[in-house]
Amino acid sequence: MTRPTGDHVERFLGITDPRTGRDLTVTAIPDNDRRVIDLAVQMLNDRGVDTTNLALPTSIDPVPAGVRNRAKWIRDDEAARALVAAERPLAPLPAGTRLTEFLDEPDDPVIMLIARHWPAHGRVLLYAQRKSGKTTLVANLLRSLADGDPFLGDYEVTPPGGRIILLDDELSPRQQRQWLRDAGITNTNRITLYSLRGRVATLNLLDDRTRAAWATRLRDDGASVVILDCLRPALDALGLSEDKDAGRFLVAFDALLAEAGATEGLIVHHAGHGNERARGDSRLMDWPDALWKLAAEKTDDPFARRYFSAFGRDVAEPERRLDYDPTSRRLTIGGGSRGEGELTESCALILEAIDTAGTLLSSRSIDTAAYKLGQDRGLNITQRRIREAREHLTVTGRLDRQPGPHRSHLYSLITDEQEDSSAPTNT
Protein backbone atom coordinates (compact mmCIF):
# COMPACT_ATOMS: atom_id res chain seq x y z
CA MET A 1 0.00 0.00 0.00
CA THR A 2 1.30 3.45 -0.90
CA ARG A 3 1.43 5.84 2.03
CA PRO A 4 0.66 9.57 1.67
CA THR A 5 3.61 11.92 1.53
CA GLY A 6 4.15 15.06 3.63
CA ASP A 7 3.90 15.40 7.41
CA HIS A 8 2.67 12.03 8.66
CA VAL A 9 1.26 11.17 12.04
CA GLU A 10 0.02 7.94 13.49
CA ARG A 11 -3.77 7.95 13.85
CA PHE A 12 -6.14 5.57 15.60
CA LEU A 13 -8.86 4.62 13.13
CA GLY A 14 -11.29 2.69 15.27
CA ILE A 15 -11.82 -0.10 12.73
CA THR A 16 -11.19 -3.69 13.81
CA ASP A 17 -9.55 -6.18 11.47
CA PRO A 18 -12.02 -9.12 11.40
CA ARG A 19 -9.20 -11.63 10.96
CA THR A 20 -7.06 -10.53 13.90
CA GLY A 21 -9.50 -8.69 16.13
CA ARG A 22 -6.98 -5.83 16.43
CA ASP A 23 -7.70 -2.17 15.86
CA LEU A 24 -6.18 -0.76 12.69
CA THR A 25 -3.61 1.99 12.89
CA VAL A 26 -2.60 3.75 9.69
CA THR A 27 -0.25 6.54 8.75
CA ALA A 28 -2.02 9.49 7.21
CA ILE A 29 -2.14 13.24 6.73
CA PRO A 30 -3.84 14.76 9.83
CA ASP A 31 -6.46 16.87 8.09
CA ASN A 32 -7.49 14.31 5.45
CA ASP A 33 -9.93 12.01 7.28
CA ARG A 34 -11.52 10.63 4.09
CA ARG A 35 -8.13 9.60 2.78
CA VAL A 36 -7.43 7.70 6.01
CA ILE A 37 -10.69 5.77 5.73
CA ASP A 38 -9.99 4.96 2.07
CA LEU A 39 -6.55 3.67 3.02
CA ALA A 40 -8.06 1.46 5.71
CA VAL A 41 -10.56 -0.01 3.28
CA GLN A 42 -7.78 -0.64 0.78
CA MET A 43 -5.74 -2.34 3.51
CA LEU A 44 -8.63 -4.66 4.37
CA ASN A 45 -9.27 -5.45 0.70
CA ASP A 46 -5.59 -6.29 0.22
CA ARG A 47 -5.96 -8.80 3.08
CA GLY A 48 -8.97 -10.41 1.42
CA VAL A 49 -11.57 -8.91 3.75
CA ASP A 50 -15.01 -8.17 2.30
CA THR A 51 -15.73 -4.52 3.10
CA THR A 52 -19.08 -4.31 1.34
CA ASN A 53 -21.17 -4.26 4.52
CA LEU A 54 -18.47 -2.77 6.80
CA ALA A 55 -19.68 0.19 8.90
CA LEU A 56 -17.08 2.89 8.33
CA PRO A 57 -16.62 5.96 10.56
CA THR A 58 -17.34 9.32 9.03
CA SER A 59 -14.41 11.02 10.83
CA ILE A 60 -11.17 10.17 12.58
CA ASP A 61 -10.49 10.74 16.29
CA PRO A 62 -7.63 13.30 16.28
CA VAL A 63 -6.31 12.08 19.67
CA PRO A 64 -3.78 9.22 19.48
CA ALA A 65 -4.71 6.05 21.31
CA GLY A 66 -1.71 6.32 23.63
CA VAL A 67 -2.80 9.76 24.79
CA ARG A 68 -6.34 8.56 25.45
CA ASN A 69 -5.03 5.60 27.44
CA ARG A 70 -2.82 7.90 29.50
CA ALA A 71 -5.75 10.24 30.16
CA LYS A 72 -7.83 7.29 31.36
CA TRP A 73 -5.02 6.23 33.70
CA ILE A 74 -4.85 9.73 35.18
CA ARG A 75 -8.62 9.85 35.70
CA ASP A 76 -8.56 6.43 37.35
CA ASP A 77 -5.70 7.53 39.63
CA GLU A 78 -7.54 10.69 40.67
CA ALA A 79 -10.69 8.68 41.36
CA ALA A 80 -8.70 6.20 43.47
CA ARG A 81 -7.11 9.02 45.51
CA ALA A 82 -10.53 10.57 46.09
CA LEU A 83 -11.88 7.19 47.24
CA VAL A 84 -9.01 6.69 49.70
CA ALA A 85 -9.44 10.23 51.03
CA ALA A 86 -13.16 9.65 51.52
CA GLU A 87 -12.44 6.50 53.54
CA ARG A 88 -10.24 8.39 56.02
CA PRO A 89 -12.02 9.69 59.14
CA LEU A 90 -12.59 13.44 59.12
CA ALA A 91 -10.17 15.25 61.40
CA PRO A 92 -11.94 17.14 64.20
CA LEU A 93 -12.18 20.86 63.49
CA PRO A 94 -10.54 23.26 65.98
CA ALA A 95 -12.89 25.08 68.34
CA GLY A 96 -13.43 28.80 67.83
CA THR A 97 -13.19 31.30 70.68
CA ARG A 98 -14.96 34.63 71.03
CA LEU A 99 -12.42 37.45 71.14
CA THR A 100 -13.78 38.63 74.51
CA GLU A 101 -13.15 35.23 76.07
CA PHE A 102 -9.80 34.90 74.29
CA LEU A 103 -8.54 38.22 75.70
CA ASP A 104 -9.76 37.33 79.19
CA GLU A 105 -7.59 34.20 79.30
CA PRO A 106 -4.48 34.61 81.52
CA ASP A 107 -1.12 34.80 79.77
CA ASP A 108 1.62 32.25 80.30
CA PRO A 109 3.96 33.78 82.91
CA VAL A 110 6.96 32.58 80.87
CA ILE A 111 7.45 34.99 77.96
CA MET A 112 10.85 33.80 76.74
CA LEU A 113 12.36 30.33 76.96
CA ILE A 114 15.75 31.97 76.29
CA ALA A 115 15.97 35.71 76.84
CA ARG A 116 16.07 37.72 73.60
CA HIS A 117 16.39 34.50 71.54
CA TRP A 118 13.55 31.97 71.92
CA PRO A 119 9.95 33.02 72.65
CA ALA A 120 7.90 30.66 74.79
CA HIS A 121 5.75 28.35 72.62
CA GLY A 122 7.90 29.39 69.67
CA ARG A 123 9.59 27.70 66.73
CA VAL A 124 13.28 28.27 65.95
CA LEU A 125 15.28 27.55 62.79
CA LEU A 126 19.03 27.36 63.34
CA TYR A 127 20.92 27.55 60.06
CA ALA A 128 24.65 27.38 59.70
CA GLN A 129 27.46 26.83 57.24
CA ARG A 130 28.86 23.37 56.72
CA LYS A 131 31.20 22.33 59.55
CA SER A 132 30.72 25.65 61.33
CA GLY A 133 29.86 24.18 64.73
CA LYS A 134 26.13 23.32 64.65
CA THR A 135 26.62 20.23 66.82
CA THR A 136 28.62 22.19 69.38
CA LEU A 137 25.97 24.90 69.54
CA VAL A 138 23.19 22.31 69.98
CA ALA A 139 25.14 20.67 72.83
CA ASN A 140 25.47 24.07 74.52
CA LEU A 141 21.75 24.66 74.02
CA LEU A 142 20.89 21.29 75.59
CA ARG A 143 22.99 22.07 78.65
CA SER A 144 21.30 25.47 79.09
CA LEU A 145 17.80 24.02 78.73
CA ALA A 146 18.47 21.09 81.08
CA ASP A 147 20.56 22.85 83.74
CA GLY A 148 19.35 26.44 83.45
CA ASP A 149 22.83 27.75 82.62
CA PRO A 150 22.83 31.08 80.76
CA PHE A 151 22.79 30.38 77.03
CA LEU A 152 26.19 31.25 75.54
CA GLY A 153 27.12 32.48 79.00
CA ASP A 154 25.01 35.61 78.61
CA TYR A 155 21.28 34.97 78.12
CA GLU A 156 18.88 33.92 80.89
CA VAL A 157 17.12 30.58 80.41
CA THR A 158 13.80 29.41 81.84
CA PRO A 159 14.14 25.60 81.89
CA PRO A 160 11.12 23.89 80.30
CA GLY A 161 8.77 22.00 82.57
CA GLY A 162 8.98 18.73 80.64
CA ARG A 163 11.43 16.58 78.75
CA ILE A 164 13.84 17.88 76.10
CA ILE A 165 13.82 15.63 73.02
CA LEU A 166 16.75 15.47 70.60
CA LEU A 167 16.12 13.77 67.24
CA ASP A 168 19.61 13.45 65.76
CA ASP A 169 20.08 12.05 62.26
CA GLU A 170 23.68 13.10 61.54
CA LEU A 171 26.05 11.75 64.20
CA SER A 172 26.71 8.14 65.09
CA PRO A 173 25.82 7.11 68.66
CA ARG A 174 29.53 6.96 69.54
CA GLN A 175 30.17 10.50 68.26
CA GLN A 176 27.06 11.83 69.95
CA ARG A 177 28.02 10.21 73.25
CA GLN A 178 31.47 11.83 73.21
CA TRP A 179 30.17 15.30 72.37
CA LEU A 180 27.44 15.24 75.01
CA ARG A 181 29.82 13.89 77.67
CA ASP A 182 32.15 16.81 76.98
CA ALA A 183 29.21 19.23 77.25
CA GLY A 184 29.08 18.59 81.00
CA ILE A 185 25.29 18.40 81.33
CA THR A 186 24.22 17.85 84.94
CA ASN A 187 20.50 17.05 84.62
CA THR A 188 20.94 14.37 81.98
CA ASN A 189 17.62 12.69 82.83
CA ARG A 190 15.81 15.74 81.48
CA ILE A 191 16.96 14.87 77.93
CA THR A 192 15.85 11.97 75.74
CA LEU A 193 18.02 11.27 72.70
CA TYR A 194 16.90 9.45 69.55
CA SER A 195 19.85 8.50 67.34
CA LEU A 196 18.31 8.20 63.86
CA ARG A 197 21.40 7.91 61.70
CA GLY A 198 20.67 5.03 59.31
CA ARG A 199 17.02 4.97 60.43
CA VAL A 200 15.81 8.39 59.31
CA ALA A 201 12.92 6.88 57.34
CA THR A 202 11.25 6.04 60.67
CA LEU A 203 10.66 9.79 61.07
CA ASN A 204 8.04 9.85 58.30
CA LEU A 205 5.92 12.60 59.80
CA LEU A 206 3.90 12.92 56.58
CA ASP A 207 2.30 9.55 57.32
CA ASP A 208 -0.53 10.01 59.83
CA ARG A 209 -0.02 6.63 61.53
CA THR A 210 3.74 7.09 61.89
CA ARG A 211 3.35 10.63 63.21
CA ALA A 212 0.71 9.46 65.69
CA ALA A 213 3.11 6.78 66.95
CA TRP A 214 5.86 9.37 67.45
CA ALA A 215 3.42 11.76 69.12
CA THR A 216 2.33 9.05 71.57
CA ARG A 217 5.96 8.21 72.35
CA LEU A 218 6.88 11.85 73.01
CA ARG A 219 3.70 12.62 74.93
CA ASP A 220 4.25 9.62 77.21
CA ASP A 221 7.78 10.93 77.83
CA GLY A 222 6.41 14.34 78.84
CA ALA A 223 8.05 16.23 75.97
CA SER A 224 8.20 20.02 76.19
CA VAL A 225 10.93 20.88 73.66
CA VAL A 226 11.70 18.93 70.48
CA ILE A 227 14.96 19.55 68.58
CA LEU A 228 15.59 18.04 65.14
CA ASP A 229 19.24 17.97 64.01
CA CYS A 230 19.05 18.21 61.11
CA LEU A 231 16.42 18.77 58.39
CA ARG A 232 18.12 17.64 55.16
CA PRO A 233 18.51 13.90 55.97
CA ALA A 234 14.84 13.77 57.03
CA LEU A 235 13.78 15.28 53.70
CA ASP A 236 16.02 12.93 51.73
CA ALA A 237 14.65 9.87 53.50
CA LEU A 238 11.12 10.85 52.43
CA GLY A 239 12.10 11.75 48.88
CA LEU A 240 11.20 15.40 49.45
CA SER A 241 12.82 18.29 47.59
CA GLU A 242 14.65 20.81 49.73
CA ASP A 243 13.64 23.54 47.26
CA LYS A 244 9.92 22.73 46.98
CA ASP A 245 8.77 20.30 49.67
CA ALA A 246 10.34 21.53 52.91
CA GLY A 247 7.12 23.33 53.80
CA ARG A 248 5.22 20.03 53.81
CA PHE A 249 7.61 18.62 56.41
CA LEU A 250 7.37 21.77 58.55
CA VAL A 251 3.58 21.48 58.63
CA ALA A 252 3.92 17.84 59.74
CA PHE A 253 6.51 18.82 62.38
CA ASP A 254 4.09 21.42 63.79
CA ALA A 255 1.40 18.73 63.89
CA LEU A 256 3.78 16.41 65.77
CA LEU A 257 4.43 19.06 68.42
CA ALA A 258 0.72 19.73 68.85
CA GLU A 259 -0.21 16.04 69.05
CA ALA A 260 2.65 15.32 71.48
CA GLY A 261 1.82 18.29 73.71
CA ALA A 262 5.27 19.83 73.19
CA THR A 263 5.36 23.62 73.42
CA GLU A 264 8.62 24.50 71.65
CA GLY A 265 10.49 23.17 68.63
CA LEU A 266 13.82 23.83 66.94
CA ILE A 267 15.10 22.56 63.59
CA VAL A 268 18.73 22.69 62.48
CA HIS A 269 19.39 23.33 58.80
CA HIS A 270 22.25 24.11 56.44
CA ALA A 271 22.87 27.60 55.09
CA GLY A 272 22.69 28.53 51.42
CA HIS A 273 22.76 31.66 49.24
CA GLY A 274 26.30 32.64 50.19
CA ASN A 275 25.84 31.22 53.69
CA GLU A 276 23.68 34.21 54.69
CA ARG A 277 20.26 32.49 54.66
CA ALA A 278 18.75 29.05 55.04
CA ARG A 279 19.05 26.83 51.98
CA GLY A 280 16.05 25.70 49.95
CA ASP A 281 12.31 26.42 50.16
CA SER A 282 11.44 30.03 51.04
CA ARG A 283 8.93 28.58 53.51
CA LEU A 284 11.89 27.80 55.75
CA MET A 285 12.41 31.52 56.36
CA ASP A 286 8.70 32.16 57.04
CA TRP A 287 8.01 29.24 59.38
CA PRO A 288 9.99 30.02 62.56
CA ASP A 289 9.33 32.64 65.21
CA ALA A 290 13.09 33.13 65.45
CA LEU A 291 15.94 32.60 62.99
CA TRP A 292 19.33 31.78 64.48
CA LYS A 293 22.39 32.10 62.27
CA LEU A 294 25.80 30.59 62.97
CA ALA A 295 28.55 31.76 60.62
CA ALA A 296 32.30 31.26 60.32
CA GLU A 297 34.68 34.04 59.38
CA LYS A 298 36.22 31.72 56.76
CA THR A 299 34.28 28.73 55.48
CA ASP A 300 37.33 26.54 54.85
CA ASP A 301 39.15 27.21 58.14
CA PRO A 302 38.19 25.02 61.14
CA PHE A 303 39.91 27.50 63.48
CA ALA A 304 38.20 30.62 62.09
CA ARG A 305 36.12 32.73 64.43
CA ARG A 306 32.41 31.90 64.74
CA TYR A 307 29.61 34.46 64.91
CA PHE A 308 26.03 34.12 66.12
CA SER A 309 22.93 36.25 65.60
CA ALA A 310 19.17 35.92 66.09
CA PHE A 311 16.20 37.64 64.49
CA GLY A 312 12.43 37.19 64.59
CA ARG A 313 9.27 37.96 66.54
CA ASP A 314 10.36 39.75 69.73
CA VAL A 315 13.92 38.67 68.83
CA ALA A 316 16.60 41.04 67.51
CA GLU A 317 20.14 40.13 68.56
CA PRO A 318 22.93 41.51 66.35
CA GLU A 319 25.82 39.37 65.22
CA ARG A 320 28.42 38.75 67.93
CA ARG A 321 31.60 36.71 68.09
CA LEU A 322 31.66 33.39 69.94
CA ASP A 323 34.57 32.25 72.07
CA TYR A 324 35.22 28.50 72.26
CA ASP A 325 36.74 26.46 75.09
CA PRO A 326 38.00 23.22 73.45
CA THR A 327 38.20 21.38 76.79
CA SER A 328 34.53 21.78 77.73
CA ARG A 329 33.27 22.59 74.21
CA ARG A 330 31.59 25.64 75.74
CA LEU A 331 30.61 28.61 73.61
CA THR A 332 30.31 32.08 75.10
CA ILE A 333 29.65 35.53 73.70
CA GLY A 334 33.07 37.10 73.30
CA GLY A 335 32.96 40.18 71.10
CA GLY A 336 31.47 42.15 68.27
CA SER A 337 30.36 41.28 64.77
CA ARG A 338 32.43 40.09 61.83
CA GLY A 339 32.50 43.65 60.53
CA GLU A 340 33.83 45.00 63.81
CA GLY A 341 36.43 42.25 64.01
CA GLU A 342 37.62 42.91 60.45
CA LEU A 343 37.82 46.64 61.19
CA THR A 344 39.98 46.03 64.26
CA GLU A 345 42.31 43.71 62.34
CA SER A 346 42.53 46.13 59.41
CA CYS A 347 43.46 49.01 61.72
CA ALA A 348 46.24 46.92 63.26
CA LEU A 349 47.61 46.05 59.79
CA ILE A 350 47.66 49.72 58.75
CA LEU A 351 49.44 50.83 61.91
CA GLU A 352 52.01 48.07 61.46
CA ALA A 353 52.58 48.95 57.79
CA ILE A 354 53.21 52.64 58.56
CA ASP A 355 55.40 51.85 61.57
CA THR A 356 57.49 49.42 59.49
CA ALA A 357 57.96 51.97 56.71
CA GLY A 358 59.18 54.61 59.15
CA THR A 359 58.21 57.43 56.79
CA LEU A 360 55.22 59.19 55.33
CA LEU A 361 53.09 56.95 53.13
CA SER A 362 50.45 57.72 50.55
CA SER A 363 47.00 56.21 50.83
CA ARG A 364 47.76 53.81 47.97
CA SER A 365 51.02 52.67 49.61
CA ILE A 366 49.28 52.12 52.96
CA ASP A 367 46.44 50.14 51.41
CA THR A 368 48.80 47.96 49.38
CA ALA A 369 51.16 47.23 52.28
CA ALA A 370 48.37 46.52 54.79
CA TYR A 371 46.48 44.27 52.36
CA LYS A 372 49.67 42.28 51.66
CA LEU A 373 50.28 41.82 55.39
CA GLY A 374 46.76 40.46 55.78
CA GLN A 375 47.14 38.08 52.85
CA ASP A 376 50.48 36.80 54.16
CA ARG A 377 48.83 35.98 57.49
CA GLY A 378 45.79 34.30 55.96
CA LEU A 379 43.35 36.95 57.14
CA ASN A 380 40.06 37.40 55.30
CA ILE A 381 40.46 41.16 54.87
CA THR A 382 39.23 43.00 51.78
CA GLN A 383 40.79 46.11 50.24
CA ARG A 384 37.55 47.95 50.90
CA ARG A 385 37.83 47.13 54.61
CA ILE A 386 41.43 48.44 54.58
CA ARG A 387 40.25 51.77 53.13
CA GLU A 388 37.48 52.01 55.73
CA ALA A 389 40.00 51.31 58.50
CA ARG A 390 42.37 54.00 57.21
CA GLU A 391 39.57 56.56 57.30
CA HIS A 392 38.53 55.35 60.76
CA LEU A 393 42.08 55.81 62.11
CA THR A 394 42.23 59.30 60.64
CA VAL A 395 38.89 60.41 62.07
CA THR A 396 39.66 58.98 65.52
CA GLY A 397 43.04 60.72 65.68
CA ARG A 398 45.35 57.73 65.26
CA LEU A 399 46.73 58.86 61.89
CA ASP A 400 47.90 62.29 60.79
CA ARG A 401 46.94 63.23 57.24
CA GLN A 402 48.67 66.05 55.37
CA PRO A 403 48.70 67.25 51.75
CA GLY A 404 51.14 65.55 49.40
CA PRO A 405 52.30 66.09 45.83
CA HIS A 406 49.82 65.99 42.95
CA ARG A 407 46.80 66.48 45.23
CA SER A 408 47.60 63.30 47.18
CA HIS A 409 47.58 62.72 50.94
CA LEU A 410 50.43 61.47 53.10
CA TYR A 411 49.91 59.69 56.40
CA SER A 412 51.97 59.20 59.53
CA LEU A 413 51.37 57.81 63.01
CA ILE A 414 50.32 60.21 65.74
CA THR A 415 52.54 59.58 68.74
CA ASP A 416 51.47 59.82 72.38
CA GLU A 417 53.41 63.10 72.68
CA GLN A 418 51.49 64.55 69.74
CA GLU A 419 48.20 63.47 71.28
CA ASP A 420 49.16 65.12 74.61
CA SER A 421 50.22 68.36 72.93
CA SER A 422 47.00 68.59 70.94
CA ALA A 423 44.79 67.97 73.96
CA PRO A 424 42.97 71.06 75.30
CA THR A 425 44.33 72.56 78.53
CA ASN A 426 42.36 74.11 81.37
CA THR A 427 42.95 77.80 81.91
Other beta carbons within 10 Å of 197? 14
pLDDT in tens, 94-142: 788 889 998 898 887 778 999 999 999 999 999 987 778 899 999 999 9
Q: Which residues are CB-neighbours of 40 under 8 A, at least 6 positions away?
A: 13, 15, 24, 26, 56
The verdict on 38 and 164 lying in the same domain is no
pTM of the model: 0.64
The verdict on 307 and 375 lying in the same domain is no
Q: What is the dihedral of CA 329, 334, 338, 344, to 10 degrees?
A: -130
Residue 266 lies in a domain: yes
Beta bridge pairs of residue 191: 164
Q: Examine the fold and report which residue of 40, 62, 91 is the final residue of a domain before the chain moves on.
A: 91
> Per-residue pLDDT for 274 more than 50?
no
Higher pLDDT, 341 or 202: 202
The verdict on 203 and 319 lying in the same domain is yes
Residue 249 lies in a domain: yes
Residue 81 lies in a domain: yes
Residue 22 confidence (pLDDT): 64
The verdict on 253 and 213 lying in the same domain is yes
Q: What CATH number is associated with residue 344?
A: 1.10.10.10
Residue 174 lies in a domain: yes
Mean pLDDT confidence for 377-402:
83
Q: Examine the fold and report which residue of 336, 354, 387 is the final residue of a domain before the chain moves on.
A: 336
pLDDT band at 30 (very low <50, low <70, confident <90, very high): very low
The verdict on 42 and 123 lying in the same domain is no
Residue 352 lies in a domain: yes
| Sign of the dihedral through C-alpha 240, 246, 250, 251 | negative
> Per-residue pLDDT for 12 more than 50?
no
Higher pLDDT, 45 or 268: 268
Residue 53 confidence (pLDDT): 72
The verdict on 144 and 260 lying in the same domain is yes
> Per-residue pLDDT for 61 more than 80?
no
The verdict on 246 and 364 lying in the same domain is no
pLDDT band at 291 (very low <50, low <70, confident <90, very high): very high
The verdict on 331 and 215 lying in the same domain is yes
The verdict on 67 and 116 lying in the same domain is no
As for how many domains the chain has, the answer is 3
Residue 402 lies in a domain: yes
> Per-residue pLDDT for 219 more than 50?
yes
The verdict on 85 and 132 lying in the same domain is no
The verdict on 320 and 356 lying in the same domain is no
The verdict on 406 and 313 lying in the same domain is no
Residue 106 lies in a domain: no
Residue 97 lies in a domain: no
Residue-range definition of the domain harbouring residue 119: 112-336
Instruction: State what percent of residues in the chain have pLDDT above 70.
Output: 81
Q: Examine the fold and report which residue of 91, 122, 150 is the final residue of a domain before the chain moves on.
A: 91
pLDDT band at 261 (very low <50, low <70, confident <90, very high): very high
pLDDT band at 318 (very low <50, low <70, confident <90, very high): confident
Residue 379 confidence (pLDDT): 79
